Amino acid sequence: MRLIILAGVLGMVFTLFFTPILIKALQRRGRTQAIRISENGINYPEHQNKIGTPSMGGVAILGGTVVGYAAAHLYVMRPPSYSVMLAFLLMGGLALVGFLDDYLKIYKQNSRGIRARTKLLGQAVVAVLFGYAAINGENANGFTPASTSISFVRDTLIVLPIGLFLVWVWFLVTSMTNAVNLTDGLDGLAAGASILTFAGYVLISVFQFNQSCAVEATAFCYTVRDPLDLAVFAAAIGGSLIGFLWWNTSPAKIFMGDTGSLALGGAIAALAIFTKTQLLMALMGGLFLIITVSVVMQVSAFKLTGRRVLKMAPLHHHFEMSGWPEIQIVVRFWVIQGIMLASALAIFYAEWVRFI
């Protein structure tokens, strides 16, 4: 437990003090993101005050995660686990894809960034490499970081061939990274919602550690590899986000950018795959799912009927254009995320209780 607390606190302290340094460095070089204030004849006057705000805040989040996790392990002189090394591989690879996107937005003042196809290709390459490595490398107990079974709160009886499993991993990674990216449209919205998700994965991983089959094989034990280290990893990210949120809350001094949103989405997907809660991820990151569905609905309705079901998608911009204050939307959406997360944890615990 002390490693979890240490990782979270150090991650928070790092981003709390490093983020303003990053803000000043970006502002000094004039590296601010191009903001869309109009599109298709629609003006967004509420975004005028965001012009000049630096982006690439994901660099601080990633740095805080590395510092928090590494320092906690140095404290006890323990090497990183194979599972978390793979999680960092996924998180870092997607952060690189996001960084390239942010580079175009900031240095080239292109508000659209890299092409969607290019971004999807980069996500696919990183996801497939991650997925292949995740089903290899058995430990002494015969556990690999991931299994080829589809999981809900633990592995189900649905086992995929390796090819389909890699496609499934690609789908999970791509859907979650893009969902977090879509949610990052208002100050503090994605960061606050992500904090709740990672806190949930800390609780799940600690519970799985206490009920691990590596400790005692029972009918209800969990065949999860490195659950305690996954909790430390999740705590490091959650702590880093708390420190970053201090500067990202309305009015934001910095945006996390695609560097941050893609990295966070990848980390959530990695935790879902490794804790064998793949389908439960839809509730663990419930707000991200709702916002993604709002975009799908909007696009589908417009293509089929020529009409829009929302004033603007994603969903938070609909309420923004309906006259809701930004901070009100953000806090209420955090409440929704909290309810979805509580539901996910209740389902997870209820499944275990049925064995008692």
The string of pLDDT tens digits covering residues 86-115 is 999 999 999 999 999 888 877 766 656 688
Amino acid at 285: G
Does 41 score more than 50 pLDDT? no
The least confident of 107-116, 203-212, 227-236, 307-316 is 107-116
Task: Report percent pLDDT > 90 for the chain.
Answer: 78
* pLDDT score of 215: 80
Alpha carbon 90 to chain centroid distance? 11
Q: Decide: helix, strand or coil at residue 79.
A: coil
* pLDDT score of 10: 98
d(Cα 3, Cα 233) in Å, to the nearest integer? 10
Does 36 score more than 60 pLDDT? no
* pLDDT score of 349: 96
* pLDDT score of 39: 45
Task: Report percent pLDDT > 70 for the chain.
Answer: 92
Note the pLDDT tens digit of each residue in 254-268. 999 999 999 999 999
pLDDT band at 142 (very low <50, low <70, confident <90, very high): confident
Note the pLDDT tens digit of each residue in 333-352. 999 999 999 999 999 999 99
CA proximity to 127, closest of 259, 238, 234, 267: 267
Alpha carbon 276 to chain centroid distance? 16
> Average pLDDT in the 144-149 region?
96
* pLDDT score of 219: 78
pLDDT band at 42 (very low <50, low <70, confident <90, very high): very low
Note the pLDDT tens digit of each residue in 240-251. 999 999 999 999
* pLDDT score of 138: 84
d(Cα 318, Cα 348) in Å, to the nearest integer? 33
d(Cα 90, Cα 74) in Å, to the nearest integer? 22
Tokens linked to 20: 């303003």
Note the pLDDT tens digit of each residue in 216-225. 788 789 999 9
- Average pLDDT taken over every residue of the chain: 91
CA proximity to 205, closest of 150, 145, 127: 145
* pLDDT score of 106: 75
Reported pTM: 0.94
